[in-house]
Amino acid sequence: MNAHLVFENNPLQPAQVSLLAQVSLACPHTHKLISWLMESGKDLYGPNADNVLPHILEEVAQATQSSRASLMLLDKAKAERVLVIKAAVGFPAEVVIDTRVKVGEGIAGWVVRERSPLLWPGGTNIPPELREMIAREGFTAALCVALEAEGDVLGVLDLARLGDAPPFTSRDLWLVSLIADRMAWVLQGERLKSRLEGLESFVTRILESIPSSLIVIDRSLRIVSANCNFLVKGRREARTTMGRKIEKVFPQVLLEYTHLDQKVREVFRTGQSTEGGKLAYRAPGLPGRIYYYRLIPLYLPPPPFPAKRGKREEVENVMLLMDDITEREQLGEEVRRAERHLISVVECANDLVISMDTDGHIVTWNRAAESISGLKTEQVKGQSLLSLCAAGQQPMMAEMLRRLARGESVQNTEVNLLTASGQEVPIAWNCSPMRDDASKVAGIVVVGRDLTERRRLEAQLSHSAKMASLGVMAGGIAHELRNPLGIISASAQLLLERPAGARLRSQGLEKIYAATQRASLIIENLLKFARPQDGRKKETDVHAVLEETLVLLTPQITLQKVTLKKAFQQLPQICANPELLQQVFTNLILNACNAMPQGGTLTVTAQASGQEEILVRFGDTGHGIPQEHLPMIFDPFFTTMPVGKGTGLGLSICYSIISQHQGTIEVESQVGQGSTFTVRLPCKR
């Protein structure tokens, strides 16, 4: 669109043309003016208004025999509307430069304000102060008309005669009005043109700076426009792109793959945008890029008159918009790879890895969880982990989940898991809350280790250690057994020698009987101790276990000149494995005796701390444990005994057994004073 179009839409009326023809014969200047008016859009004096209008003004001054003529335009940039001289004839130069007329002042100001032409003498509507002013200026005649276009006043064409010149005629007014109209149209066109150019460059700047490739395609599938981004990414030049068919610009293989040509035609046909999809495009000599493309229809500008009803607006061009998503795609691929990696880490783990919502409902359940429990993900999804725990231990798991929901983490807590076949599997749980970006607890992740195998190995190890302590006990047991054996043997021999002695016989038989009882009790305790435990926990009287252990060990204690002091309080029953506890007590007592090779005092105390826990203490007056050994004494195979004497397993097994009972074992020791081992066992089930 340009200024010519405006003219073409505003032709002169035939009556005006014939009148103009008559007038033009009178004077060559008028003739020139009329040619300008008649030529409509043709540029007689150059391409733009700045060149044309001063020439026209001169012609007008000549044609109307004006002494002075000026073209003044409104300066709209100012808040106060002011007229500025654009071209002038017959004025001193300094007047031309400085003259600025406020709207409402002077002849021109009045014409702009009133939107009415001024003709003097002859005009009827001229206010007295204006007449006075004209008289002061020494004008014999004045003619001023507004330049109006589309209802806007752009400026004025102001003429004056001096001296004894005759007044302006109505024909002068008519011609000047026509010229003013035409000038207004030229100015308006000029303004529209510059606005359009501004707009065009604005749009171009946007198109060139958006980080998307953009081409416009016409109906013959030729490229009519391509932005800089497209040309750079495709390593193309504008001259080898514009006007080319798309199949000459895009590689054949890409067109076949995307059916781009068909899709463009489709958009022309339907007038609907398409969400294209991805396309991979590799410009020669550049690495391949991935684009997301869309096809958008561009419509013809709406016609100035209303379109006929039912007639569809026509698609003039189709715009192909290509967003480079290579980085995003690569990032997506990275994310997917990281995701796959994480999934396989979780899936390949030997430990159960379970994620839950904050209420403890299972969300994911890894392969290890499936194989240990025998339950498939589909069977457990949405279920509470609580319902999959051994009935007796559910309160413990419930407490664990409550703590997790509060944001605490839970370490190494043992709760048995129920398998599909109804068996219980011992699991050590390590759980932590998962937090969202706002550090709010969004879920729970738990890692569980199947302790079955560990328990089996521990049992094996603990059995070996027990056998080892049997070796230590052998001396005491031998002594203890050979005494009754000695008595039995001697009595029997006496009876054989003197069968007649009645008193000797009855005494001897009594001694034999008592000694046999004693020997078999020792054997029984020994058997109990040596028997492999079944690992089950049951209601256990810790007091009884302690007494039994002491019976078994008293020979050893006595043998080593150790004085035993006992102080046992009333103890509540606890859920424990008595064989395992006996093993712990045996170990601690034998250790205490070994710490006192010259004899000493072993103090065994047992007390209940409320209903919470049971404390059993074993204090010796032996050589004590050096400070530097304290952190290691519960480590497996740590021993200070000569090779072959101790396995170094005793205390580590005690530690493991007490841990299995959710208890603790601690030691206080002072070199030369003795050591005290404290076992704490919780009463809670």
- Position among 85, 481, 552, 593 found at the interface with another protein (CB under 8 A): 481
The answer to whether residue 488 forms part of the interface with another protein (CB under 8 A) is yes
3-state secondary structure 184-252: HHHHHHHHHHHHHHHHHHHHHHHHHHCCEEEEEECCCCEEEEECHHHHHHCCCCHHHCCCCEHHHHCCH
The answer to whether residue 489 forms part of the interface with another protein (CB under 8 A) is yes
* Residue pair 249/233 in contact by the 8 Å Cβ criterion: no
- Position among 494, 521, 550, 575 found at the interface with another protein (CB under 8 A): 494
The answer to whether residue 486 forms part of the interface with another protein (CB under 8 A) is yes
The answer to whether residue 526 forms part of the interface with another protein (CB under 8 A) is no
In one letter, which amino acid is 503?
R
The answer to whether residue 559 forms part of the interface with another protein (CB under 8 A) is yes
Q: What's the closest the beta carbon of residue 498 comes to another protein, in angstroms?
A: 7
Q: What's the closest the beta carbon of residue 471 comes to another protein, in angstroms?
A: 15
Q: Of 45-53, 480-488, 626-634, 637-645, which part binds another protein (CB under 8 A)?
A: 480-488
Residues between 75 and 134 with contacts to another protein, criterion CB under 8 A: none
Map residues 305-344 to x or -, x wherever contact with another protein holds by CB under 8 A. Answer: ----------------------------------------
The answer to whether residue 515 forms part of the interface with another protein (CB under 8 A) is yes
Residues between 560 and 599 with contacts to another protein, criterion CB under 8 A: 561
Map residues 245-284 to x or -, x wherever contact with another protein holds by CB under 8 A. Answer: ----------------------------------------
The answer to whether residue 504 forms part of the interface with another protein (CB under 8 A) is yes
Of the candidates 623, 616, 629, which has an alpha carbon nearest to the alpha carbon of residue 592? 623
DSSP state of 568: E
Beta strands 613-619 and 600-609, pairing class: antiparallel
Task: List, as one string, the DSSP characters of 277-320.
Answer: EEEEE--TTS--EEEEEEEEEEEPPPPSSPPPTTPPPPEEEEEE
Collect all residues with Cβ–Cβ distance below 8 Å to 654 and sequence separation of at least 6: 583, 584, 587, 588, 634, 665, 679
Judged by CB under 8 A, the number of residues near another protein is 26
Question: Tokens for 422?
Answer: 């109804």
Task: Give just the sign of the alpha carbon dihedral 586, 588, 594, 597.
Answer: negative
Q: What's the closest the beta carbon of residue 655 comes to another protein, in angstroms?
A: 32
Q: Of 192-200, 370-378, 399-407, 503-511, which part binds another protein (CB under 8 A)?
A: 503-511
- Position among 231, 390, 490, 526 found at the interface with another protein (CB under 8 A): 490
Catalogue the E-assigned strands of 332-436: 352-356, 362-365, 410-418, 424-435
DSSP state of 124: S
Torsion region of 345: left, alpha or beta (phi above 0 gives left; psi -120 to 50 gives alpha): alpha
Torsion region of 211: left, alpha or beta (phi above 0 gives left; psi -120 to 50 gives alpha): alpha
Q: What's the closest the beta carbon of residue 482 comes to another protein, in angstroms?
A: 3
Measured from the CB atom, is 127 or 599 closer to another protein?
A: 599
- Position among 497, 524, 612, 666 found at the interface with another protein (CB under 8 A): 497
Q: What φ, ψ does residue 669 adopt, rounded to 5°?
A: -150, 150
Q: What's the closest the beta carbon of residue 527 comes to another protein, in angstroms?
A: 20
- Position among 213, 469, 491, 577 found at the interface with another protein (CB under 8 A): 491
Q: What's the closest the beta carbon of residue 524 comes to another protein, in angstroms?
A: 19
Measured from the CB atom, is 93 or 502 closer to another protein?
A: 502
Measured from the CB atom, is 474 or 641 closer to another protein?
A: 474
The answer to whether residue 482 forms part of the interface with another protein (CB under 8 A) is yes
Question: Tokens for 213?
Answer: 């490739």
Question: Tokens for 257?
Answer: 């793959």
The answer to whether residue 478 forms part of the interface with another protein (CB under 8 A) is yes
* Residue pair 585/617 in contact by the 8 Å Cβ criterion: no
**For residues 326 and 335, what is the distance between their CA atoms, to the nearest angstrom?**
14
| Total Cβ atoms within 10 A of residue 405 | 17
Residues written for the chain = 685
- Position among 487, 592, 657, 665 found at the interface with another protein (CB under 8 A): 487
* Residue pair 620/592 in contact by the 8 Å Cβ criterion: yes
- Position among 62, 274, 507, 639 found at the interface with another protein (CB under 8 A): 507
Map residues 382-401 to x or -, x wherever contact with another protein holds by CB under 8 A. Answer: --------------------
Of the candidates 133, 181, 132, which has an alpha carbon nearest to the alpha carbon of residue 154? 181
**For residues 184 and 398, what is the distance between their CA atoms, to the nearest angstrom?**
89
Binding site residues, another protein, CB under 8 A = 475, 478-483, 485-491, 493-494, 497-498, 504, 507, 511, 514-515, 558-559, 561
